[in-house]
Amino acid sequence: MGRSCREIHEWIEEEIEQPIEEWEDRQEERCREEPCNWWMLCLNKLVCWLVWVTVKVIRWVTVTVGKWVVRVVCTVVNVILDVIGFIVGLILSIPIIGGIIRTVLNWLVEIFWRIVGVLDLLGSLVGIRPRKKFYFGVVIPVIGGTPLTTEAALQPQIDAVIDIYDRTCNIDARFTGFCQTEISPPGGSIVVNCDVGGFFEDWWLKGSWFEFVSRICKFESNWRNVIGYGGELIGFAVNNVAPDGGGSSTIGCSFAGTTNWVAIESGVDPATLAHEFGHAFLLGHNNGATNLMAASVTGLPPASLTLTNWQISVIRTSRHVTYL
Ligand SMILES: [Zn+2]
């Protein structure tokens, strides 16, 4: 959550400090050019400079110093909250009991923020869609010293997420970066069974691994993931997503609101991560030929994928997608 402190800091700089500084520069120029009226004993020029100095001093004391005070206080509070969030995450990483609490907690915050977002949902359905934002990151497990995949191989997935959600939903999808983790998955490889069995496996060691790695990799997201609001979604590159066979192969998995992560196999279809995030936003599958949520790979470039009005509105009112 420390990133919101940076964003507030940047906002103050861009929206308040810079405009005042620009005004100061213009005023300085005006004062320089102002003719000295002898019948006013040059007081007009003096007043002009006084205004300039006063604005400069007040701006420095309130805005320039203020933005750093805000930044420091904000950061300290956030670090404390993230440490608390991290400790909560450790508890949630305990097999079985932590897993069950995690499932219940994630669905409770999901329901809570869906209720809070009802008006936003209605607004979105009739086309009122101010810019929202959503944070996401990607984890690449390093197993036996070898990363499962490369950042370059996953970059098209990231580009597709940013493009699709920007173009269809007016959402600013912000990528928080890759995280390579040396923490070895249980059994030395990570296979996600994308079915009911996989749902219950999430309560055992595998789920603990996902939770623990998420908390370590995305420390700044810990507090937000506890309260749900603006919690980061994480894409995990995994060895395999099952079930496979019968002429079809599963390449990605999401357990909807149950987890704050989705799993993808690397390099199969560039829209896999965007599709799985769609499930994490509570979307089901859709039959549309160009729809992002089509059950099987469409083979279409991400730039031509679409979403329906209803899908867009469901995505926009997910707890992961926020104004602040
Ligand atoms: Zn799907």
Domain ranges of the chain: 2-87, 96-322
pLDDT, position 34? 82
- Where the chain has pLDDT below 70, the residues are 1-2
- Give the distance (Å) from ligand 1 centre to CA of residue 278: 8
Residue 75 has, within 13 A of its CA and on its CB side, a CA count of 9
Cβ atoms 148, 266 nearer than 8 A: yes
- Give the distance (Å) from ligand 1 centre to CA of residue 314: 16
pLDDT, position 168? 96
Residues 234, 141: Cα–Cα separation, whole Å: 13
Q: Which residues contact 168 (CB under 8 A, 6 or more apart)?
A: 292, 306, 307, 312
Q: Name the class of domain 96-322.
A: alpha beta
- Give the distance (Å) from ligand 1 centre to CA of residue 192: 14
- Give the distance (Å) from ligand 1 centre to CA of residue 150: 23
pLDDT, position 276? 96
Strand 248-249 to 240-242 pairing: unpaired
- Give the distance (Å) from ligand 1 centre to CA of residue 202: 18
pLDDT, position 42? 80
pLDDT, position 6? 87
